[in-house]
Amino acid sequence: MSLRSRITLVLSGLTAIIVLMAGAVIHQLTEDDIRNHLDNRLYWQAEKVAEPEVVSKILINRRFFNTLSETDQTLGLGGLLDAEIPTRVFVGRDTIIATGGFPDFPLIFFPEGFSELEVDGTKWRIQTKTLRRPPSGRSRTPSLVMIQTAVSWDSMSTTLSDFRKRFFIIGIISVMGSGVGGWFLGGAALNPINRLRKYAEAVRSSQDLSERIPEKLGPGEVEILAQSLNEMLSRLEVNVHTTEQALSSSREFASNVAHELRTPLTSIKMNLDMLERYPDSFPEDRHKILLNIIKEQDRLLNTLESLRLLARGDLSDEDVFDEIDFSQLIQDVIGVNKSHSARSSIDLRLPSTPPLLRGWREGLAVLFRNVIENAHVHSGVVDEDLVIHISAKISGKWIEVHIDDNGIGIDEPEREQVMKRFVRGTKSTGVGSGLGLSLVNQQAIIHSGFVDIYKSPLGGTRVCIKLPIVV
């Protein structure tokens, strides 16, 4: 069921309930008013007849009159009595004076005041007033005079029946009118929402998330809804753009990985084919081929290890973080690179009180190890002539580490690019995958740090690493 139909039904239902409640209240009030009006007529008729001079005349005449007007005229009451109110008077138990129209029922000693009695299926409202006449003549007992006025409920029932019919018609008209009004009101109220829906459908059909819905379409509530939809579209646009970038990066990454793995594998396959094709080649040639195979195998393993570390770094969180002694970490990294450090000069200068770092030990080791290995592999200087300076200083809540070399350096336009995956500097002389500095940058970001590349005072490259310390 549509919202417009629901509004119509709700409004019609509320109108029906209100009409029924109002009808019940008005019906009861009307019934009470009619009852009070009739009771007043009965009361005043009894009071008029109970006047002493009227009672005296009635007792003197003691005759039966067919109509109240006849009684009124005969008794000379001057039109004091209401002809529409049947009246009768009992004097003791013997004498009855009554007007026409009074219900035919025997003398009943009703209690003083108002009573109700049903005679031949007709309900009557009766007012009884009792008088005591002083003793007269031979009788020493006071006479009992009972005055009764009566009115049928038929008139009131007819009036109430007419009222109910009229009110029923009014109720039907009111409900129908509220239904029609609710239908048009619902349409008017939903018109801004319908316009909003059309704009939203247009955006969906065009699939252009850059489109926006006009916010001035109706009242404040609709405006807020339009703003919320536009905010959602903005977030979707950003998410879609981010997803597209991620997919593009993933495709590029997969392509680069395939290339980096294909190159050493192809070289290994070619060398193995050479060994198979020329089994009787000179031992020196076979040795060179085997060394080349080992070299390409190492390259392949290094690439796979870098990819593993990159993937693990992307998935790492602070649950694996520990407090790490910076001095011990650097010394362990230099020790792992002992094959290079034995042939090169590494100058290590640390703070008198080395700080503690909080992080992933393997990741931090990869960070510093790759910078040192990058200097050995890509500096363009043989290990015997290579000089590496490692210095660290504490600045507030940070430790700043400078790793300098005397190599060929990295051109300024390339310094930011070489920290991206599979990107190598144009001056790079060694064989590599282009993942070393990207691992450095990744681990620095994971540990809330920074990496910058400058020209070193030694003439080569300076890698500046800034990491937070445990205070």
Predicted pLDDT at 391: 92
- Domain holding 424, by residue range, is 318-468
Query: Rounded CA gap, 235 and 241, in Å?
Result: 10
Taking only the tens place, the pLDDT of each residue in 294-309 is 877 876 776 676 666 6
Q: Alpha-carbon distance 352 to 272, whole Å?
A: 54
What's 158-207 look like in SS3?
HHHHHHHHHHHHHHHHHHHHHHHHHHHHHHHHHHHHHHHHHHHHHHHHHC
Give, in order, the Cα–Cα distances in Å from 168 to each of 10, 22, 165, 201. Answer: 20, 11, 5, 46
Instruction: Kindly state the percentage of the chain with pLDDT values over 90.
Output: 7
Give the global pTM. 0.44
CA angle 286–287–289, rounded 5-degree value: 65
The H or E element containing residue 451 is: strand 450-455
Looking at residue 404, its pLDDT comes to: 93
Strands 356-359 and 387-395: unpaired
The number of C-alpha atoms within 13 Å of 292 and in the hemisphere containing its C-beta is: 19
User: pLDDT tens for residues 254-277?
Assistant: 655 665 677 678 888 888 888 888
Burial of 57 (0-12, 13-18, 19+ CB in 10 A): middle
Q: Taking 90 as the threshold, does the pLDDT of residue 279 lie above it?
A: no
Residue 379 lies in a domain: yes
**Residue 86, by phi and psi: left (phi above 0), alpha (psi -120 to 50) or beta?**
beta
Spatial distance between the Cα atoms of 74 and 71, rounded to a whole number of angstroms? 5
In a domain, 325, yes or no: yes
More confidently predicted of 72 and 404: 404
- Residue 396: strand, helix, or coil: coil
Asked whether residue 323 is domain-assigned, the answer is: yes
- Count CB atoms within 10 A of the CB of residue 77: 18
Does residue 33 have a pLDDT over 80?
Answer: yes
DSSP letters, 3-60, are HHHHHHHHHHHHHHHHHHHHHHHHHHHHHHHHHHHHHHHHHHHHHHHTSHHHHHHHHH
Q: Which of 114-120's residues contact partners 24+ apart within 8 Å by CB, and which partners? A: 114/39, 114/42
Indicate if the pLDDT at residue 209 is higher than 70.
Answer: no
Mean pLDDT (the chain) is 76
What is the enclosing helix (H) or strand (E) of 293? helix 283-315
Residue 63, SS3 per DSSP: coil
pLDDT of residue 68: 46
Q: How many CB atoms lie within 10 A of CB 12?
A: 20
383 falls within a domain = yes
User: Is 3 a member of any domain?
Assistant: no
Averaged pLDDT for residues 283-289:
84
Number of H helices, E strands in the chain: 10, 12
Contact 408, 381 (CB under 8 A): yes
Query: Which CATH number characterizes residue 344's domain?
Result: 3.30.565.10
- Given CA atoms 97, 101, 106, 108 in this order, what sign does their dihedral have? negative
Which tens digits make up the pLDDT trace of 42-75?
888 888 888 887 777 766 665 544 444 455 544 5
The pLDDT of residue 65 is: 46
Closest CA to 267 of 298, 244, 246: 298
| pLDDT of 67 | 45
Flag the least confident range among 61-65, 89-93, 328-332, 461-465: 61-65
Dist. CA 74–CA 93, nearest whole Å: 23
Q: Is 60 exceeded by the pLDDT of residue 342?
A: no
Residues 61, 50: Cα–Cα separation, whole Å: 16
**Cβ neighbours for 21, distance < 8 A, ≥ 6 positions apart:** none
Is residue 256 a contact partner of residue 432, using CB atoms and an 8 Å limit?
A: no
Q: What is the mean pLDDT of residues 6-23?
A: 82
Q: Please tell me the distance from the alpha carbon of residue 327 to that of residue 135, in angstroms, as a whole number.
A: 137
Q: How many domains does the chain have?
A: 1
| Strands ordered across the beta sheet of 113-119 | 95-98, 87-91, 143-152, 122-133, 113-119
Q: Read off the amino acid at residue 98.
A: A
Do 199 and 214 form a contact (C-beta atoms < 8 A)? yes
The answer to whether residue 394 sits within a structural domain is: yes
Is residue 29 a part of any domain in this protein? no
- Report the candidate in 222, 226, 225, 223 with the shortest Cα–Cα distance to residue 212: 226
Which of the residue ranges 83-87, 254-258, 355-359 has the most confident prediction, judged by mean pLDDT? 355-359
Query: DSSP string spanning 116-136?
Result: EEEETTEEEEEEEEEEEEPP-
Report pLDDT for 306: 64
Angle at 225 between CA 219 and CA 230, to 5 degrees: 125
Query: What is the C-alpha to C-alpha distance for residues 128 and 109, in angstroms, rounded to an integer?
Result: 9
Contact of 326 with 356, CB cutoff 8 Å: yes
Is residue 371 in some structural domain? yes
